[in-house]
RNA sequence: GCGGAUGUAGCUCAGUUGGUUAGAGCGUCUGUUUGUGGCACAGAAGGCCGUGGGUUCAAGCCCCAUCAUUCGCCCCA
């Protein structure tokens, strides 16, 4: 039995070129959310299993969470999402924190399931939450932050679409307007979530199955279909439009447009899987036909902090996965060239005095110039190849001649241009080059 | 958990109706003399043909199982 070199199923190795992409994406995400005053936090990857049992949405705990018993007999889970953790942290210090809190994190999360495109067992997810604002100011800001994230990655508005709905509005439609009981409402909600994936006939058939025969005979199926055909809030029946949640959603949509976010729309099929959402929910979809999926989702969850036996704190937040985001930026060709951190490669030629060369190299580093040194005693052409393969554009040649007159050769491997200067001059050239 | 596809060199893949020493391109390494690369030329290394069993005189090829990868379903942070 030979040892496998493959990473664990559903998890990725990050070779330097992969890590470079991840670092670029995360740096962009951090920059975007920090523009709005969000601060980064973090927490352990392990949590007590109780934390996930306490909230609703059972499947994720039973089937999709990595769990184990530790040596002290405690039931432990590897975090499958960040929301319970951040709620726990807020609850623990609820009285001393300065609201509104603006927090973000980029945790790695684990779920036990069959890997597929854009969905792995280990992934990283940007989590952005605002705590302590009851009004729609919170929704407006959080969606603006999400939009900023895409804008800063170079995305144009037609590359993605922000879809909004409201849990309260759907509850009002299901219960008050349609008269569904709880079980029917739950089934119909799950169906609506998938309505764009199903053939129309299949959807209607499943809809029929989800409601009681008597209601079906009184034409309820048609009534539901009429509601679901709504493309705008104003397509809904008057009595539904008068509901407070409908007016609130319209306000948020109008405010987003006023804020210059024109690709935000009402979409009745946006339900969100978790039951802890209490108000407006939203998702961002990639409009590219090869990646037409939800990249980010979120909403208002006012009840979660209160699960810890303290006063509830109104919260709006979202999560954005790294795998789907990477698909997005690649499909839309948004990636810039990602250069190495190393400013120059140093070729110490055969016959050059190594202690003297080393002293010069140390001086470069003291100036903050990142240098990788090639193996001593190699031929110059091998240094060229090594530097090029590593993606390092500049080569510093240190032969005995250069050491004697302290005029070093700096060669740009892309253009072939060469210049001779003292160490200080070359250091500043390299620093300018990196800033450009 | 369910279904489809695919496993041959480091990578991308060829391998005829089963037939003897297993192929290409790219990459890697060496050299074309010792301080100027990317090209070219010459050469080399590198394969239990995913694994186990079966059929056959003979299996990379056919059959079964198994593992892995991948796409989708379920579900979705």
Query: How many percent of chain A have pLDDT more than 90?
Result: 51
**Phi first, then psi: what are they for A301, rounded to 5°?**
-135, 95
Q: Which helix (H) or strand (E) holds A294?
A: strand A294-300
Flag whether pLDDT at A63 surpasses 80: no
Choose the weakest-confidence range: A51-55, A140-144, A312-316, A411-415. Answer: A51-55
**Greatest mean pLDDT range, A114-118, A130-134, A211-215, A319-323:** A130-134
Q: What is the ipTM of this complex?
A: 0.83
Q: In 3D, which of A350, A357, A354, A346 has the Cα closest to residue A397?
A: A346
Q: In 3D, which of A126, A227, A130, A129 has the Cα closest to residue A174?
A: A227
Task: Give ranges for CATH 3.30.930.10 in chain A.
Answer: 16-331
- DSSP, collapsed to helix, strand or coil, labels residue A114 as coil
β-pair partners for A266: A164
Number of neighbours of residue A337 by Cβ within 10 angstroms: 5
CA-to-C1' span, A392 to B65 (A): 50
pTM for the whole structure: 0.90
Using the CA of A320, which nucleotide's C1' is the nearest one?
B77
CA-to-C1' span, A196 to B19 (A): 55
Say how far apart CA A433 and CA A394 lie, in whole Å: 10
Q: In 3D, which of A160, A138, A143, A332 has the Cα closest to residue A263?
A: A160
Residue nearest to nucleotide B69 (CA to C1'): A9
Using the CA of A404, which nucleotide's C1' is the nearest one?
B35
Flag whether pLDDT at A290 surpasses 80: no
CA-to-C1' span, A191 to B59 (A): 51
- DSSP, collapsed to helix, strand or coil, labels residue A296 as strand
Flag whether pLDDT at A367 surpasses 60: yes
Q: Which CATH fold would you assign to the domain A16-331?
A: BirA Bifunctional Protein; domain 2 (3.30.930)
CA-to-C1' span, A172 to B36 (A): 76
Beta strands in A143-247 (DSSP E): 160-166
Residue nearest to nucleotide B71 (CA to C1'): A116
Q: Are A429 and A421 in contact (CB under 8 A)?
A: yes
CA-to-C1' span, A117 to B71 (A): 8
For domain A344-435, give its CATH number from 3.30.1490.20, 3.40.50.2000, 3.40.50.1820, 3.40.50.800: 3.40.50.800
CA-to-C1' span, A134 to B53 (A): 67
Flag whether pLDDT at A101 surpasses 80: yes
User: So what's the pLDDT on residue A59?
Assistant: 47
CA-to-C1' span, A309 to B44 (A): 72
Using the CA of A401, which nucleotide's C1' is the nearest one?
B35
Using the CA of A383, which nucleotide's C1' is the nearest one?
B37
The whole-angstrom distance between residue A396's C-alpha and the CA centroid of its chain comes to 39
Using the CA of A117, which nucleotide's C1' is the nearest one?
B71
At A109-167, the pLDDT tens digits run 998 888 887 788 999 999 999 999 999 999 999 999 999 999 999 999 999 999 999 99
Beta strands in A312-435 (DSSP E): 315-321, 344-348, 371-373, 394-398, 408-412, 418-421
Using the CA of A113, which nucleotide's C1' is the nearest one?
B75
Mean per-residue pLDDT for A315-319?
Answer: 95
Task: Give ranges for CATH 3.40.50.800 in chain A.
Answer: 344-435
Q: Are A75 and A49 in contact (CB under 8 A)?
A: yes
Say how far apart CA A69 and CA A72 lie, in whole Å: 8
CA-to-C1' span, A2 to B54 (A): 25
Using the CA of A8, which nucleotide's C1' is the nearest one?
B68
Mean per-residue pLDDT for A235-254?
Answer: 93
Count CA within 13 A, CB hemisphere, residue A167.
18
Mean per-residue pLDDT for A14-23?
Answer: 88
User: So what's the pLDDT on residue A55?
Assistant: 61
Q: Are A96 and A316 in contact (CB under 8 A)?
A: no
| Nucleotides of B strand lying within 7 Å of any protein CB atom | 1-3, 28-30, 34-38, 68-77
Count CA within 13 A, CB hemisphere, residue A284.
27
Please tell me what DSSP assigns to residue A170.
H
């Amino acid at each position: 039995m030979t040892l496998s070199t493959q990473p664990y199923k559903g998890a990725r190795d990050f070779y330097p070129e992969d890590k470079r992409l991840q670092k670029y994406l995360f740096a962009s995400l951090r920059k975007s959310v920090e523009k709005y005053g969000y601060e980064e936090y973090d927490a352990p990857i392990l949590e007590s299993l109780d934390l996930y049992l306490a909230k609703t949405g059972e499947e994720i705990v039973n089937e999709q969470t990595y769990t184990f018993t530790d040596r002290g007999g405690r039931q432990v889970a590897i975090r499958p999402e960040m929301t319970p953790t951040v709620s726990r942290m807020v609850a623990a210090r609820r009285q001393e924190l300065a609201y509104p809190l603006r927090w973000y994190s980029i945790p790695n999360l684990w779920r036990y399931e069959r890997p597929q495109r854009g969905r792995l067992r280990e992934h990283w997810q940007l989590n952005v939450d605002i705590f302590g604002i009851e009004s729609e100011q919170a929704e407006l800001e959080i969606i603006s932050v999400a939009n900023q994230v895409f804008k800063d990655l170079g995305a144009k508005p037609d590359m993605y679409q922000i879809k909004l709905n409201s849990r309260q509005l759907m509850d009002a439609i299901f219960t008050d307007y349609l008269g569904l009981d709880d079980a029917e409402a739950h089934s119909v909600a799950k169906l609506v979530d998938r309505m764009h994936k199903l053939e129309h006939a299949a959807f209607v058939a499943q809809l029929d199955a989800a409601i009681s025969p008597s209601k079906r005979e009184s034409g309820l199926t048609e009534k539901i279909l009429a509601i679901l055909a709504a493309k705008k809030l104003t397509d809904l029946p008057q009595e539904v439009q008068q509901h407070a949640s409908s007016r609130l959603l319209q306000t948020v949509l109008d405010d987003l447009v006023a804020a210059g976010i024109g690709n935000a729309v009402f979409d009745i099929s946006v339900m969100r899987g978790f039951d802890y959402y209490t108000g407006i929910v939203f998702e961002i979809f990639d409009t590219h036909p090869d990646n037409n999926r939800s990249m980010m989702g979120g909403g208002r969850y006012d009840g979660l902090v209160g699960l810890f036996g303290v006063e509830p704190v109104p919260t709006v937040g979202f999560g954005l996965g790294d795998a789907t985001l990477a698909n997005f930026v690649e499909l839309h060709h948004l990636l810039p060239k990602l250069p190495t951190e190393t400013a120059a490669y140093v070729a110490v030629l055969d016959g050059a005095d190594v202690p003297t060369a080393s002293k010069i190299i140390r001086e470069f580093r003291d100036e903050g110039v990142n240098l990788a040194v090639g193996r001593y005693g190699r031929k110059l052409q091998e240094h060229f190849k090594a530097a090029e393969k590593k993606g390092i554009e500049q080569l510093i040649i240190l032969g005995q001649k250069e050491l004697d007159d302290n005029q070093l050769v700096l060669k740009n491997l892309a253009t072939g241009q060469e210049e001779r200067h003292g160490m200080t001059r070359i250091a500043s050239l390299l620093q300018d080059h990196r800033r450009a």
